[in-house]
Amino acid sequence: MATEPEHDSLEQVADEVRVCTRCELSRSRTHAVPGEGNPKARVMLIGEGPGWHEDQQGKPFVGASGKFLTELIGHAGLQREDVFITNVVKCRPPGNRDPLPDEIEACSIYLDRQVKLIDPDVIVTLGRFSMSRYFPGERISRIHGQAKEIGHRLVVPMYHPAAALHQGALKATIIEDFEKLPRLLADREKAREAAREKGESATQSSMF
């Protein structure tokens, strides 16, 4: 059974994912897709699972929806190198079917570790399966683009880029949602500075 090592790292998680057999998806995959990006990213994007292109290349979001995701990240004033991108399941469900609850549960050990290691300010969920991790029972059409403070970070549910590619009407919506990210990040930075200043003035006043 995979357990969290004492000195964990993103490389360690990726190495374990590549040889993982914790669920049935290991049988049909070509390559597992651990995720990639900036290990100190302030924004982490969590999709559903690898598709055909991702399974072939072992990289997340490399097909048409990946190209669109790169565009969306640009609408947030960022580049792919600035963020970390992964999925709730790291192996491709056959025929692009939905991942099953027991597969998501089996794979959550890796996503939990990635979130803990990267410790982003903002998590963007892409599609309903990653949304359910933070907003169980909610509907994406009701809550997309609305940031919620969960723990010490913001989680923003968004449509999956593939859905927006297939339904033209959603394209403008998902672009608008990504355009909200710079303000959220700036607010987060301000809150951090305020907390730092408060901490410093508390230290100074305790010196007198």
Please give the residue ranges that form the binding site for ligand SF4 (CB under 6 A).
17, 20-23, 25-26, 32, 89-91, 103, 106-107
Minimum CB distance to ligand SF4, residue 161 (Å): 20
- Closest to ligand SF4 by CB, 105 or 138: 105
- Closest to ligand SF4 by CB, 45 or 107: 107
User: Please, where are the H alpha helices in the chain?
Assistant: 10-18, 25-28, 52-57, 64-75, 101-118, 128-134, 140-143, 161-166, 168-179, 181-207
Please give the Cα distance from 15 to 22 (Å, whole number). 14
- Closest to ligand SF4 by CB, 5 or 182: 5
* Tokens read off for 134: 């933070």
Contact present, 54 and 154 (Cβ < 8 Å):
no
- Closest to ligand SF4 by CB, 107 or 162: 107
Minimum CB distance to ligand SF4, residue 107 (Å): 3
Instruction: Report which DSSP code applies to 135.
Output: S
Residues in the chain: 208
Minimum CB distance to ligand SF4, residue 123 (Å): 19
Minimum CB distance to ligand SF4, residue 26 (Å): 4
